[in-house]
Amino acid sequence: MNHALQFYIGGEWVEPLGPERLGVTDPCTEETFAEIAMGTPADIDRAAAAARRAFTSFAATSPDERLALIRKILAAYAERYEEMARVISREIGAPRALAHGWQAGLGTRHLNELIRTCEAFVWQRMKGTTLITYEPIGVAALITPWNWPINQIVCKVAPAIAAGCTMVLKPSEVSPLNALLFAEVLDAAGVPAGVFNLVNGDGPLAGAALCSHPDVDMVSFTGSTRAGIEIARLAAPTVKRVHQELGGKSANIILDDAELTAAVTSGVNACFGNSGQSCNAPTRMFVPAARHAEAVTIAREAAQKHVVGAADDADTTLGPVVSAVQFDRIQRQIQQGIEEGAELVTGGTGRPEGLAHGYYVRPTVFAGVRPDMAIARDEIFGPVLSILPYDDEEHAIAMANDSVFGLAAYVQSGDHEHARRVAFRLRAGSVHINYPAWDAGAPFGGFRQSGNGREYGEWGLEAFLEVKGIVGYAA
């Protein structure tokens, strides 16, 4: 990959118009190992213009032609798969197994699911004498986060292409190298010039210019709720479609008929996955008050089995968080939990013993947490679990729903029908029963301040489509 100081615009690697550069930091060592160019509004203008020029011809291609292109992208991605895993591991500190099996692997899974979706999708249908047809919305602005970078890039870029849209991608400047590599994948697959464009940069400058750009018809954003509010404000004057997947503080209800050891252990591991840097992580664990002490013991043992270390260490199960900014924020939130009076079961502030450098956080569990505490209400985005005791099932459901967020929820029970009944009552975009396998075809998105719209499968495709009714078509 030789294009870190360039942008991909109009089917070519081009020089940036501004002089700004930004270092890319290895979170395991705190050392800068690469440098990227930072885009300006003028760079965004070039990219948006290229996307606009390409739209008319690309929108006129058939769904079958675009499906064939997605298959070529999958093949080109497979050729760069190992490199993709290495790049992601280096720039976000993901342990090797996680980077290979999941971080890079989700790109493959999304492409395969999209192929299945497109093969079955009904692009036109009659409703009486009216023809209902789906058409691409236009030029899409795609803004993606650093925590699961290629996952969010592929689940936006691929359905946008399948829909017939053109686009400008602004990936996170914290983890930008995988996006540059993916641009090389798309180029190798033969994506027509101007269909996909990439400009690196930060949110306040490049991101704001993109979201407010008059040539952009839609913004698809994944990131914090705070940034999502600003993006909606910027998009409002031109009445763009705004599709957002934002923050979360997901509840994990362990019902009184669950096998406690397995449920708590799995809940701890799910919370700590990707170093706790997942918007849908089950960070609030609700347990029966009568079994709170038992759950605390199980959670302590599960947390202390995690090995915190460098991404390339084979024993590592929990790598660093991504940046100094994240590390400092998590330290403040852990300290706040201590000051609020929650029981610190394990972990706490500071780096783990023996790790003087790198953004390593001690895997932390709090118990006896009250729902009014900040650690039970604010998204922490690190390996920090809050255990909240409940009196009865109604109490658990009420506390679980008492949140400004509603991205995901989790229910554990020895009685599947019991879990189903509870799942229907939880206000979240996705509810997971007994830690099921990840499903690339399930809708992903949230209620309330967790965003609007859905991604993955047919929902991800429909996000980039307009519905047209041709009335009297069959008259």
Q: pLDDT at residue 173 above 90?
A: yes
For the stretch 246-303, pLDDT in tens is 999 999 999 999 999 999 999 999 999 999 999 999 999 999 999 999 999 999 999 9
CB of 338 closer than 8 Å to CB of 365:
no
CB of 375 closer than 8 Å to CB of 369:
yes
Looking at domain 7-246+450-470, which of 3.40.605.10, 1.10.510.10, 3.40.630.10, 3.90.1150.10 is its CATH number? 3.40.605.10
Q: DSSP assignment of 78-124, as one string?
A: HHTHHHHHHHHHHHH---HHHIIIIITHHHHHHHHHHHHHHHH---E
For the stretch 427-449, pLDDT in tens is 999 999 999 999 999 999 999 99
For the stretch 31-71, pLDDT in tens is 999 999 999 999 999 999 999 999 999 999 999 999 999 99
Mean pLDDT of 385-414: 98
Which pLDDT score, from 0 to 100, does residue 1 have? 63
Q: pLDDT at residue 466 above 70?
A: yes
Q: What is the pTM of this model?
A: 0.96
Mean pLDDT of 396-401: 98
Which pLDDT score, from 0 to 100, does residue 137 have? 98
Which pLDDT score, from 0 to 100, does residue 473 have? 97
Q: What residues contact 439, with CB distance under 8 A and at least 6 apart?
A: none
Topology alike, domains 7-246+450-470 and 251-445: no
Q: pLDDT at residue 85 above 80?
A: yes
- Alpha-carbon distances, residue 255 vs 260, 265, 411, 418, 434 (angstroms): 9, 14, 7, 9, 11
Which pLDDT score, from 0 to 100, does residue 475 have? 81
Q: pLDDT at residue 355 above 70?
A: yes
Q: How confident is the model at residue 2 (pLDDT cuts 50, 70, 90)?
A: confident
- How far is it, in rounded angstroms, from Cα 279 to Cα 56? 36
CB of 287 closer than 8 Å to CB of 390:
yes
Q: With CA atoms as reference, report the closest residue to 380 among 399, 361, 396, 406.
A: 361
- How far is it, in rounded angstroms, from Cα 292 to Cα 294? 5
Mean pLDDT of 451-463: 97
**Bridge partners, residue 125, by sequence:** 132
Q: Residue 65: is it exposed, middle or buried by C-beta count within 10 angstroms (0-12/13-18/19+)? A: exposed
- How far is it, in rounded angstroms, from Cα 239 to Cα 216? 10
- Which amino acid, residue 113? E
Beta strands (DSSP E) in 223-381 are 241-245, 251-254, 284-288, 343-346, 364-367
- How far is it, in rounded angstroms, from Cα 220 to Cα 223? 10
Sign of CA pseudo-dihedral 381, 383, 388, 394: positive
For the chain, give every domain's residue range: 7-246+450-470, 251-445
Architecture of domain 251-445: 3-Layer(aba) Sandwich (3.40)
Q: How confident is the model at residue 127 (pLDDT cuts 50, 70, 90)?
A: very high
Q: pLDDT at residue 238 above 80?
A: yes
Which pLDDT score, from 0 to 100, does residue 450 have? 96
Annotated catalytic residues are: 245, 279
**Bridge partners, residue 287, by sequence:** 389
